């Protein structure tokens, strides 16, 4: 997402970059914008984390019948549930005036809940380490051009997920069904619907290029370990829009691209809907998403590393460093003590090798993050099985809530 001004990001790239795809140029609000002519604006009571709705999210939509991939049928049945989102930010436009950002979203409940990206409805990612602020006003435009005001329920910066809500009495709502991102396979066809460059209700098709990609969340200092990669053309303004499978079920929220130009070049990434659903449920219930954290930096053990460092196991997560004062440090987990070059890569050797968590095998660094952040909660005690000095040791660790900065001492 971009907003107007010298700090607008993602459009000029002389080297490989990761770019937001959510924003339109910020404008001073007035009749020159066209979209706001004769519109009564309503200030959003932007609920920050901890101040969200307590209502349940009901999803009554059903998947399409049949096994073939029919983009026309997907568009015909699902586009009414895809919306364009306009967010207004005071002090983020030309001359520190009002800035406008445009992205996409989709209705997930007849009660009016809409999923999108956090960077569409907040200033997240605009400036490194800057405090995140919610948009002062949010508007939703439906496929028929009608508009409604929205309130911000909450946002999850770690997973770049945001939830807003409209009054069901303001417009007929067509919710879309949510699928299971854990069942997504490479090569399956997908369809993306959104508003690239403000061109509402646009359809793009492609395939899933990869699954379980580890990519940096553009709104936090952590990685998203299960991102879905697609070659479906995704551009600025698509942020927050749905990625559908052949059954017309949402499997991901389109969030970012990897590009040399800032525009679509065949490498887009979507937030998996399973993690987005988890975020949404917590945001609706409490306005905040809680992640567990252990406080280690790890590297996936490969056969070449295992051979070079003489590990008995051939898979796992090598602990390279432990954050001082973290749960890992308090539990006595060990990081690497010496730097070794293996097949052209620097590896910090000598640390514990995590091979299981609560008895479940750990085969990679992503496995460790996936279990801790997705299945466990702060305050819970987990048991890591590690290989240390050739022996298997079970280490109990009391998890805490994930901090904004993973490397800061605690």
- Out of 156, 160, 174, 367, which one is annotated catalytic? 160
* DSSP helix/strand/coil, 364: coil
SS3 content of the chain, % helix, strand, coil (to 5): 15, 35, 50
Which of 124, 142, 104, 116 is closest to 237 using CA atoms?
Answer: 104
List C-alpha distances in Å: 390 to 165, 182, 336, 337, 408. 54, 34, 15, 16, 31
Which of 207, 402, 381, 196 is closest to 291 using CA atoms?
Answer: 402
Expressed in angstroms, the distance from the first to the final Cα of the chain is 32
Structure tokens at 42: 């309503």
- Out of 239, 259, 275, 365, which one is annotated catalytic? 239
410 is catalytic: no
List C-alpha distances in Å: 305 to 79, 280, 299, 334, 390. 48, 39, 10, 18, 15
Which of 33, 41, 60 is closest to 174 using CA atoms?
Answer: 60
Q: How far apart are CA 153 and CA 120, in angstroms?
A: 13
Q: Which residues pair with 44 in a beta bridge?
A: none
Contact present, 242 and 249 (Cβ < 8 Å): no
Instruction: List, as one string, the DSSP characters of 102-149.
Output: EEEEEE--TT-EEEE-HHHHB-TTSSTTPPP-B-SEEEEE-TTS-EEE
Structure tokens at 238: 């698509």
Contact present, 368 and 362 (Cβ < 8 Å): yes
Q: How far apart are CA 299 and CA 318, in angstroms?
A: 5
Contacts of 310 (CB under 8 A, 6+ apart): none
- Out of 4, 92, 119, 171, which one is annotated catalytic? 119
352 is catalytic: no
119 is catalytic: yes
Contact present, 99 and 89 (Cβ < 8 Å): yes
Structure tokens at 371: 């279990």
Q: Which residues pair with 183 in a beta bridge?
A: none
Question: C-alpha angle with apex 241: 268 to 203, nearest 5 degrees?
Answer: 80
Q: Which residues are catalytic?
A: 119, 160, 239
């Amino acid at each position: 997402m971009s907003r107007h001004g010298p700090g607008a990001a993602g459009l000029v790239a002389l080297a490989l970059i990761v770019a937001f795809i959510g924003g339109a140029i910020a404008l001073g609000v007035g009749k020159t914008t066209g979209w706001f002519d004769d519109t009564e604006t309503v200030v959003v009571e932007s609920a920050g984390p901890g101040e969200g709705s307590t209502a349940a999210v009901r999803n009554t939509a059903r998947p399409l019948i049949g096994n073939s991939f029919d983009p026309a049928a997907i568009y015909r049945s699902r586009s009414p549930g895809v919306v364009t989102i306009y967010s207004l930010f005071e002090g983020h436009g030309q001359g520190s005036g009002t800035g406008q950002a445009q992205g996409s979203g989709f209705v997930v409940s007849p009660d009016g809940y809409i999923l999108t990206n956090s960077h569409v409805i907040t200033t997240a990612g605009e400036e490194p380490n800057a405090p995140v602020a919610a948009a002062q006003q949010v508007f939703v435009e439906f496929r028929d051009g009608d508009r409604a005001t929205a309130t911000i329920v909450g946002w999850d910066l770690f997973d770049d997920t945001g939830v807003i809500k409209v009054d069901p009495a303001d417009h007929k709502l067509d919710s879309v069904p949510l699928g299971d991102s854990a069942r997504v396979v490479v090569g399956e066809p997908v369809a993306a619907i959104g508003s690239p460059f403000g061109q509402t209700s646009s359809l793009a098709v492609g395939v899933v290029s990869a699954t379980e990609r580890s990519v940096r969340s553009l709104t936090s200092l952590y990685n998203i370990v299960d991102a879905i990669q697609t070659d479906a053309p995704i551009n600025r303004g698509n942020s927050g829009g749905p990625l559908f499978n052949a059954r017309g079920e949402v499997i991901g929220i389109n969030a970012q691209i990897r590009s040399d130009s800032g525009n679509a070049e065949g490498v887009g990434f979507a937030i998996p809907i399973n993690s987005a659903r988890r975020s949404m449920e917590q945001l609706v219930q409490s306005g905040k998403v809680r992640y567990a954290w252990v406080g280690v930096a790890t590297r996936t053990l490969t056969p070449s590393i295992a051979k070079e460092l003489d590990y008995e196991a051939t898979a796992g997560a090598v602990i390279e460093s432990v954050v001082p004062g973290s749960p890992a440090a308090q539990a006595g987990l060990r990081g690497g003590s010496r730097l070794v070059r293996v097949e052209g890569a620097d590896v910090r050797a000598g640390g514990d090798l995590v091979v299981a968590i609560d008895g479940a095998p750990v085969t990679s660094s992503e496995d460790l993050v996936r279990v801790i952040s997705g299945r466990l909660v702060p305050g819970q005690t987990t048991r890591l099985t590690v290989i240390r000095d050739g022996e298997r040791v079970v280490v109990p660790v009391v998890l805490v809530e994930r901090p904004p900065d993973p490397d800061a001492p605690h």
